[in-house]
């Protein structure tokens, strides 16, 4: 009991209890409000259509535009559509080949090709695979009556050539049976091409795992450095202390990626990107996490950790790893643009799954802006704080 009484006299004991409660409240509040109405915003996912067939293909493409709950974009060529898919501007390509109508008229199975980018949130990938199957079924149902009409026309032509004899009923029945049996109720076969596919199921979780481990690690490190700073602040000037903390941040940020890359190798997570590309991207991303976590602590002291908990939850729900950003509300989309996890996750999709090589450079630039803004803000706050009196 004496030990418990002693702990209850220390303020940090109550801070730990409050932090535990805060985690529950913050996570439930942010996650539940962020994902509320996600299914209703499915129309914000985009399907690109490339119809090279000028007959039935064009008609089917028009029917899809009118009936699909998703946004539809027309593309003149597969090259433009594949570029948009790689850059994650669209979520799936529906390709109707040039010989689509000819294959149907010849009584063969026509093919529609769907391309789904695997370097995307799991919800979007699974949804697009289901949509591809559903669209194929709906197109089969739409084409079956059309083929029946064609069969009737063929039957009429054959009937006109038949002699009017006593066995005409049997001949008509045989002709109808032969003609109708040639009509397939499923005339379209679908082929799903998974672009930027990665080996192994675990690879899908690497972007999420890196985001969580990097930011939580940054939070813990900044918290410990804040406590250390409070211990030594009387023996150092505020600028000596601030500079020392930044040197530590940079050193850790450019050392930790070696461990990250080594772990990826151990667990057989492969990448088409070079070692230096992964190394520098991970370094900049981790430094951005450190700078974000640091600015809250410099602004608010130990209370800043509560803001970091909020930042952790916000980054998990808005990074696009679990649910595509365009399926979130506008408010969360605006928040996502200001958080490093958004660009870290997008960059790691390119590292793990492949895609547009410019993504890493663009995301690194955005992370650099976040580092610059947070460092500037932290510097201004330190400059405005009064210098402690000399001892």
Instruction: Kindly list the domain boundaries of the chain, sorted by start residue.
Output: 11-35+201-384, 45-195
Nearest-CA neighbor of 282 among 199, 336, 350?
Answer: 350
Fold of 45-195: abc type-2 transporter like fold (3.40.1710)
pLDDT band, very low/low/confident/very high, at 167 (cuts 50, 70, 90): low
Q: What pLDDT, on the 0 to 100 scale, is given for residue 391?
A: 47
Residue 95's contacts (CB-CB under 8 Å, 6 or more residues apart) are 50, 52, 78, 81, 112, 113, 114, 115
pLDDT above 90 covers what percent of the chain? Answer: 27
Confidence of residue 303 (pLDDT cuts 50, 70, 90): confident
Indicate whether 174 pLDDT > 90.
no
Q: Dihedrals φ, ψ of 115, to 5°?
A: -115, 125
Q: Is the pLDDT of residue 253 over 80?
A: yes
User: How far does CA 76 lie from the centroid of its chain?
Assistant: 26
What is the pLDDT at residue 130?
A: 87
Task: Give pLDDT tens digits for 54-87.
Answer: 888 888 888 888 888 888 999 989 999 999 999 8
Mean per-residue pLDDT, 277-299:
94
d(CA 296, CA 288): 13
pLDDT tens track for 113-143:
999 988 887 778 888 888 888 888 888 777 7
Least confident stretch, 16-25, 101-110, 236-245, 382-391: 16-25
Tens digit of pLDDT for each residue in 329-363?
A: 889 989 999 999 999 999 998 988 887 778 899 99
Better-predicted residue by pLDDT, 15 or 223 = 223
| Predicted pLDDT at 24 | 60
Longest alpha-carbon distance in the chain: 124
Per-residue pLDDT for 379 more than 80? yes
pTM for the predicted model, two decimal places: 0.72
User: What is the per-residue pLDDT for 230?
Assistant: 81
* Among the ranges given (16-30, 61-75, 215-229, 364-378), the one the predictor scored with the smallest mean pLDDT: 16-30
CA distance 210 to 178: 62
- pLDDT band with cut points at 50, 70 and 90 for residue 218: confident
The C-alpha atoms of residue 366 and residue 364 are separated, in whole angstroms, by 5
pLDDT, position 177: 58
pLDDT at residue 375, as a whole number? 96
């Amino acid at each position: 009991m004496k030990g418990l009484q002693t702990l209850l006299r220390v303020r940090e004991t109550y801070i730990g209890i409050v932090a535990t409660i805060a985690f529950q409240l913050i996570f439930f509040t942010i996650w539940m409000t962020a994902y509320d109405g996600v299914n209703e915003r499915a129309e914000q996912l985009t399907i690109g259509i490339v119809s090279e067939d000028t007959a039935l293909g064009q008609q089917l493409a028009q029917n899809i535009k009118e009936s699909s709950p998703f946004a539809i974009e027309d593309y003149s060529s597969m090259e433009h559509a594949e570029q948009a898919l790689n850059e994650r501007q669209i979520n799936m390509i529906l390709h109707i080949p040039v010989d689509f109508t000819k294959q149907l008229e010849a009584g063969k199975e026509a093919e529609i090709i769907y391309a789904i980018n695997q370097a995307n949130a799991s919800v979007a990938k699974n949804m697009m695979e289901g949509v591809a199957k559903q669209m194929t079924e709906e197109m089969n149902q739409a084409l079956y009556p059309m083929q029946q009409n064609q069969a009737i026309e063929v039957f009429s032509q054959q009937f006109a050539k038949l002699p009017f004899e006593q066995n005409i009923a049997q001949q008509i029945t045989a002709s109808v049976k032969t003609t109708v049996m040639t009509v397939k109720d499923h005339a379209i076969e679908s082929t799903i091409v998974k672009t930027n596919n990665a080996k192994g199921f675990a690879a899908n979780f690497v972007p999420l795992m890196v985001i969580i481990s990097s930011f939580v690690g940054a939070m813990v490190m900044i918290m410990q450095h804040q406590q250390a700073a409070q211990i030594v602040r009387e023996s150092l000037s505020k600028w000596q202390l601030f500079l020392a903390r930044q040197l530590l941040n940079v050193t850790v940020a450019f050392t930790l990626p070696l461990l990250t890359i080594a772990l990826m190798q151990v667990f057989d997570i492969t990448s088409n990107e070079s070692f230096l590309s992964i190394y520098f991207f991970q370094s900049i991303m981790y430094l951005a996490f450190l700078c974000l976590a640091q600015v809250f602590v410099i602004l608010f002291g130990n209370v800043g950790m509560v803001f970091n908990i909020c930042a952790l939850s916000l980054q998990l729900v808005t990074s696009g790893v679990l649910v595509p950003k365009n399926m979130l509300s506008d408010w969360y989309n605006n928040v996502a643009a200001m958080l490093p996890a958004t660009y870290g996750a997008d960059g790691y999709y390119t590292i793990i799954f492949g895609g547009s090589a410019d993504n890493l450079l663009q995301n690194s630039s955005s992370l650099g802006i976040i580092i610059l803004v947070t460092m500037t803000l932290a510097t201004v706050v330190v400059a405005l704080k009064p210098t402690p009196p000399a001892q």
